Amino acid sequence: MLRSLHQLPGLLAAVLIAAIAISGAMLSVVPAYDSLTAPAAPAAQMSVATLAANVAQAVPGVSQLTRNPSGSIIADYSNNSGMGSDRIDPNTGKVLGPYNPSPVYRWLYAFHRSLLMGTAGRLASALTALALITLCISGAVLLARRMGGWQRILGRARGSVFQRLHITLARFALVGLLFSAMTGIYISLTNFDLIPNGLAQTAPFPNNVPAGHPMPITAMPALRGIKVSQLRTLTYPTDPSDVFTVSTGTGQGYVDQAQGQMLNWTPDDAARRIYEAIYMLHTGEGFWSLGLLLGLAALCAPFLSITGALVWWRRRRSRPRFRHNHTSHSADTIILVGSEGNATWGFARTLHDALTEQGYRCHTGSMNTLARRYPHAERMFIMTSTHGNGDAPSSARSFLSRLERMRHSPGVPVALLGFGDRQFPQFAKFGHDVAEALDARRWHAMLPYEAIDRQSPQEFARWGRAVGEALGHGLELNHQPVRPASTALQLVERIDYGHEVQAPTAILRFAVPEVPATLLQRLSGRAGLPRASAGDLLGILPPDSVVPRFYSLASSSRDGFLEICVRKHPGGECSGFLHSLMPGEMVEAFVKPNPDFRPARGRRPVIMIGAGTGIGPLAGFIRNNARGRAIHLYFGGRDPRSDFLYAPELDRWLGERRLTSLTTAFSRIQDRAYVQDRIMEDAHHLSRMIQKGAQIMVCGGAEMAAGVMEALDAALAPMGLSAVALKAEGRYVEDVY
């Protein structure tokens, strides 16, 4: 619901928000320009009487003086030469030149205020500001949820390139955009007379004006008592019996010419004071530095619109479409999906279609949309994969917190199905976490929790038959996995390790087959390769299989090749296939971005810890460290004579200063050390680097990662830190299998 509330105004009002924001950003420069080009402010003791007398002498026929918020003085006049306005030096009263506001400024002001459409345009601008307020508030709540709470809202942004850019821009601009929108709404409400602004308030004209010969302006006590810095406007009298009309920052009144006394002084009411303060805050007039900050925030709005639309489009395009997908309030069957990619959505569509054919009214959505009640639901299915080291996939990250906030379960039986790969120690762990959470809430189970290994259609079909028995009729789930779009890659080089320690491992380097590259490909340096960065995942499709296996990349496409480290697992279908490849043979592969596993930006040191094939992406980061950022690598293997992966390259990178230090640990030689042992030995040095902002990156097996985390916790304990705390800040990242 909240995501829809954020997306709908953004999609409907994106163009208007961008247009008004750009015009507002351009207008924000004007107060700063006026302040910087305005004449020097007059001496503190200079009075309006002195200024008015000087201007009357310099400008024949002067009718009114106006002091702008920037401090500029404008004199309006009407004489034999016609009507006009001049800029005045406030210190001398002399004319600096004609006052002719830029036509561009006038156009921008009119466009920003009303889109050049009068009353209808002002209403559209007000509705746009209201949409922007909705976007800011809903976006802030969504961001807090995504980051794991308000206290972590400034943590490391995760997700795709567009998601990270959208989050970064939002965090910079959110307060400014919300401030501008709220002050803009206030001004719009006053324009439509829904809130008083006090501008129509005038002092009552005096009934009895003292008669007599006009005294010199410089001698008038009332005008001598007003400083130039307090002036708003001063209107000159048209004949000896008339009065001066004066308006200051606190009120307005009249000054007679005979005695120079203030008549009928009327202080500004609260409505006017509030309006002028808000107008100043919205425009920056009189507070130009704030105006520039708000202008910078406004410039982010078009980019937020673009990145937000791209994120929405990619999410929409990536999800399978469901026929006859009823609303959650009208459906009798709810299917909730937790997926990092598209695979689990595909299984959900098979279930959705099969149940729909049986006459059920199904609603399928993400686990993040779990509602507190489903009025007509009679059953629920939850289908979820596991991401990374047992974490929730992207479409289920808020499920457990939503479940925890529910006072009561919806009262419908639920069937939970997990997806995973049994070769990993955290097989379908998030599914287990959900099962435990549902059990703790005493949610009635339609079926015992099950998990599908490697997206097996056969296991899914068997589970479907069990669902049919629970429903009282047959149910056949014939799922046909969709083969991912892939690129043919040719193995160009392989280096083998580990046979002596019974851990066959190979570094495999792939390139595209020898075909002429396009000009764009040659200029980009990618040589026809799919776009990839070190740390991304290369999905390999084994022969006669549509289920990919993923390997971390030790190179980027700009290196001209894609490189992975693969250890051969007993019975491993894909690892066995890859180890059988010879140079010149082909594989079908695709790249899956992995933006959550990257060195943080900046120059702060990075501590990389990897064992075995876990060195792959770390080697890629070091390979691309041309600027010489401090990188300290801890590598663990079995025997340096057998499985010291990248040994020659690491030695060369040390000489090139791409790598700052290298610490190794081997478990099959005399001291039988592991990387966590080296962490403990270097605890003091590491803790000092971490205290100064260093980032930690861990890649390798789950058992190694657990040992490293335990060793780091011990090293960080004296500082009151922990690996979990660093992880929450984005300073401890893992790629664990």
Lowest mean pLDDT among 4-8, 102-106, 133-137, 532-536: 4-8
pLDDT of amino acid 2? 66
Q: Which domains does the chain have, with CATH numbers?
A: 2-32+105-197+286-314 (no CATH), 44-90+202-268 (no CATH), 321-471 (3.40.50.360), 487-592 (2.40.30.10), 606-736 (3.40.50.80)
Give 350-410 as a 3 state SS string. Answer: HHHHHHHHCCCCEEEEEHHHCCCCCCCCCEEEEEECCECCCECCHHHCCHHHHHHHCCCCC
Residue entry with tokens 């919300």: 178
| Cα distance between residue 109 and residue 102, in whole Å | 11
CA distance 662 to 609: 10
**565, containing H or E segment:** strand 562-567
Summarised one tens digit per residue, pLDDT across range 715-727 is 998 888 898 889 8
**CA-CA distances (angstroms) from residue 302 to 3, 109, 173, 310?**
20, 19, 11, 12
| 3-state SS string for 627-663 | CCCCEEEEEEECCCCCCCCCHHHHHHHHHCCCCCEEE
309 backbone φψ class: left, alpha, beta (φ>0; ψ -120 to 50): alpha
Per residue in 38-73, pLDDT (tens digit) is 888 777 679 999 999 999 999 999 999 999 988 899
Burial (CB count <10 Å: 0-12, 13-18, 19+), residue 414: buried
- For residue 526, what are the β-bridge partners? none
Tell me, what's the pLDDT at 1? 58
Percent share of the chain, pLDDT over 70 = 96
Mean pLDDT of 85-103: 91
Check pLDDT > 70 for residue 410. no
**Residues 549, 561: Cα–Cα separation, whole Å:** 19
pLDDT at 522: 47
Other Cβ atoms within 10 Å of 91 Cβ, number: 17
Residue 231: is its pLDDT beyond 50?
A: yes
Query: If you average pLDDT over every residue of the chain, what do you get?
Result: 89
Of 670 and 706, more confident: 706
Look at strands 631-637 and 586-592 and give their pairing: unpaired
What percent helix, strand, coil does the chain show, rounded to 5? 40, 20, 35
How does residue 672 score in pLDDT terms, banded at 50, 70 and 90? confident
Q: Which residues pair with 76 in a beta bridge?
A: 64, 85
The residue with greater pLDDT, 143 or 26, is 26
Q: In which band, very low, low, confident or very high, does the pLDDT at 523 lie, cut at 50, 70 and 90?
A: very low
CB atoms within 10 A of CB 555: 25
pLDDT band at residue 697 under the 50/70/90 scheme: very high
- What's the mean pLDDT in 248-277? 93
The string over 479-500, giving b where at least 16 C-beta atoms fall within 10 Å of a residue's C-beta and e elsewhere, is bebeebebeebbbbebeebbee
Q: Residues 431, 386: contact at Cβ < 8 Å?
A: yes
Write the pLDDT tens digit of every residue in 171-214: 999 999 999 999 999 999 999 989 999 888 888 998 888 888 89
| Pairwise CA distance, residues 51 & 91, whole Å | 8
Task: Give the model's pLDDT for residue 319.
Answer: 65
Task: Identify whether the C-beta of residue 105 lies closer than 8 Å to the C-beta of residue 34.
Answer: no
**At residue 74, what is the residue type?**
I
Strands 243-248 and 231-235: antiparallel
**What is d(CA 281, CA 189) in angstroms, rounded to the nearest whole number?**
16
pLDDT in tens, 527-551: 578 889 999 999 999 988 888 889 9
Q: What is the mean pLDDT of residues 500-517?
A: 84
Residue 518 CB burial class (10 angstroms; 0-12, 13-18, ≥19): exposed
